[in-house]
Structure 1
Amino acid sequence: MTADADRNGGCQCGAVRYRAEGELGYPHLCHCRMCQKAAGNYFMPLGGVKHSNFTLTRGAAKWFHSSDLVRRGFCGDCGTPLFYDIPGTDFINITLGSLDDPDAVKPVMQSNTGRKMSWFHALDGLPLEPEPETPDREDAIAASNHQHPDHDTKSWPLGESS
């Protein structure tokens, strides 16, 4: 993906969708405890875009002020963390995992590494599950999937008007 390409994304259920135009600045992995809790994970991948280049294309985020300086946007329906915003600045950070193509944005830095998990260096040494999903199980998951696809849709769930 080129630096000036639009990046679309949204939550797991499809109730909130967005477009970020142009380059995402400072794509990084934040290991701070607030990001860990907000993501329900060991770190949060974030990248910034100017407010003038950011548009909600469906729905509205709910907001939680995780500190007096920062608010975090998420889907009020499915809970997907979407945004890290510092009110008064000219940019908003989006969670890189909420992009339709998260592989297109490679982090360039890590921050707040004092809270980084002490065992991350050993992850590549963990054994891999020996068997991939069976075709029957993959088909069953695909047939019952309620997750929004990784692209914009005219309406969601499919068949409903937006």
Structure 2
Amino acid sequence: MAEDRMSGGCACGKVRFTANIADDDAYLCHCRMCQRATGSVSIAFKNIRQADIEWESGPDWYDSSPIATRPFCSACGTSLGFQFKEGSENLDVTVAAFDDPARFTPKHHFGAESMHRQWINTEGLPEQRTDTYQKLIDKWVAATGSVPG
């Protein structure tokens, strides 16, 4: 697969990046450090070389442990990744931070000792779209005059 340039950033737009992406492989991390850092049961990451990401407007960095640091947006709180402090030329970028995360495919689980299996296969649970939830639509219209596109 040819390398593609993909952009992304945080929820408020303060942090923006462009990255060279060589393949569609991603993974899910379930380790307790990632669970606590993101407030989620797991986090989807795309591993890329640090040299392949350009921060147009850079993130803040949280010194999350003796071995790692994490990029994030101090304005909106978006978690943007994980990076070892030493010994790696790579950076894990959160899949959801990409403007179009749909191309990525999970290839493995990491931190399986902390995996919450009841959250892995949710096939068959009732589903509701945000654009059919009238209470949410009403709140958007009241706050902004329209529904986000």
Q: TM-score, normalised by structure 2?
A: 0.82
Identical counterparts, % of pairs: 26
- Unmatched segments (≥5 aa) in structure 2: none
Deviation string 1:67-124 (CA, Å, 9 cap, x unpaired) is 1111111001000000211123211110001100011111111111121113135522
Higher strand share: 2
1:96 corresponding residue in structure 2: 95
1:87 and 1:93 mapped to 2: Cα distance? 12
Give the secondary structure class of the aligned counterpart of 1:56.
strand
C-alpha RMSD of the superposition: 3.0
CA 48–121 in structure 1, closer or farther in 2 if over 3 Å, else same: closer
Residue 22 (str. 1) matches residue 55 (str. 2): no
1:118 corresponding residue in structure 2: 117
1:47 and 1:106 mapped to 2: Cα distance? 9
Give the alignment of 1:64-103 within 5 angstroms: 64-88=62-86, 89-103=88-102
Q: Is the 8 A contact 1:24 1:47 kept in 2?
A: no
Please identify runs of 4+ aligned residues in structure 1 that moved more than 3 A.
Answer: 141-145
- How many residues align? The count is 145
- Unmatched segments (≥5 aa) in structure 1: 150-162
Deviation string 1:44-85 (CA, Å, 9 cap, x unpaired) is 111111122110012x21212221111111001000000211
